[in-house]
Amino acid sequence: MLQKPGSGGGSLGSGDFNFSKGVVEDVAIQFDNSGELVVTLEDKSFRCSTQPPTVANCPSDGGTLKGQITLKARPWKIAICNVRSGSSFNPAGGETGGGFISAGTDFIVDYKPIIHPDSALGITDECAYPVTSNYSLDSGPLDLDFKVVYPAPSLNPQPGAVTPNVIPSFSTNQVLNTLVHTWSEVGAIEFISSAIYLGRDIQKDHQVIGRFYPDYFNTLNNVWGNPAGQAFAYMNQEFDNVSVDVEAYSALGNETQNYGSFNTIQQAFFELDEGRLLNGNRLNLTYRGRRGAINNNDISWQKQADFSTDGPFNFDGGPTVH
């Protein structure tokens, strides 16, 4: 009889109870759901009246032999499944593989309490295992932890913030616990699910999510150095130095910290997009911590090829060109 939750289901199975010298040992019992249940063992063929006089205090009840045991069954894991955001599905990529979504964008995860693989009938994908439906009926708990796995831990990546801050328990009217998350950082993150149910630990499940990339970039410290001894630069004359700092941001509006530790091939390429800037597409971008820096000394503003009236003017509030 199921005691906890008060309603629910499940099938109980066991091996044979073959007694030898009044004892039976190592009988396998299986319950294909979760919860606490009381199991009654009864031998209806046993009669105290047929026992020899040497059997004292014959443990009978209503003429038959009975006994009870309490079983507590918990899910094997709370599997982390079906990670998605709109039409994008989690590639579980970090140093390799494709990107997932931009930092700070909502993504959805299904948390699924599942049975042990011994009873999964050969299914290899744990997200396809049968669920322990009683877990949600008992408002089963869910604990989540996370760690950054890309950039590499040796580079001391920043953990950022994952929402929601408080993880809700399972709802009694939903077998799965489906949550909407955000992560404020870039990189790849590993989610770890666990719980304590009926006084015992549920085995942890692990899932890498990502790669998250910047939602947008911002520039600051935009400095155009005039040639030495000049208050301006001539057409076709190289600026002494062009210096721009670049910041990577999440969709939540915070500056991310981990982008500078990405592999170079996974970092954005920048250029000064103006048709008359010579060498504006050959930018030496280096990262100092979280920010990228552009420093070039071979950029010049090209005079119009037809030698028509051209300048002087200031470009976007920056350098003066004659």
Q: Are 100 and 85 in contact (CB under 8 A)?
A: yes
Contacts of 55 (CB under 8 A, 6+ apart): 48
For residue 63, give both structure tokens.
């003429």
For residue 18, give both structure tokens.
């073959």
- The confidence score (pLDDT) of residue 127 equals 96
Averaged over successive runs of 10 residues, the pLDDT of the chain (322 residues) comes to 77 70 70 86 73 68 71 95 97 90 98 92 93 94 97 96 96 95 98 96 97 93 85 84 90 96 88 73 74 83 74 58 52
Residue from 267, 248, 261, 247 nearest 149 by CA: 261
- The confidence score (pLDDT) of residue 262 equals 94
Euclidean distance between CA atoms 281 and 294, whole angstroms: 11
Phi then psi dihedrals of residue 167, to 5 deg: -90, 120
The DSSP code sequence of 4-59 is ESSS----EEE-----BTTB-----EEESS-EEEEEEEEETT--GGGS-TT--S--
| Single-letter code of the amino acid located at 322 | H
Euclidean distance between CA atoms 26 and 17, whole angstroms: 9
- Residue 81 pairs with which residues in a beta bridge? 110
- The confidence score (pLDDT) of residue 316 equals 57
Euclidean distance between CA atoms 224 and 296, whole angstroms: 10
- The confidence score (pLDDT) of residue 31 equals 83
Using alpha carbons, list the distances in angstroms from residue 203 to 49, 139, 143, 179.
Answer: 49, 18, 11, 20
Phi then psi dihedrals of residue 38, to 5 deg: -100, 125
For residue 243, give both structure tokens.
């210096």
Domains in the chain: boundaries: 2-73, 77-212, 216-321
Euclidean distance between CA atoms 108 and 89, whole angstroms: 10
CA atoms within 13 A on the CB side of 103: 26
- The confidence score (pLDDT) of residue 107 equals 98
Residue from 262, 283, 221 nearest 94 by CA: 262
- End-to-end distance of the chain based on CA atoms, in angstroms? 91
- The confidence score (pLDDT) of residue 314 equals 62
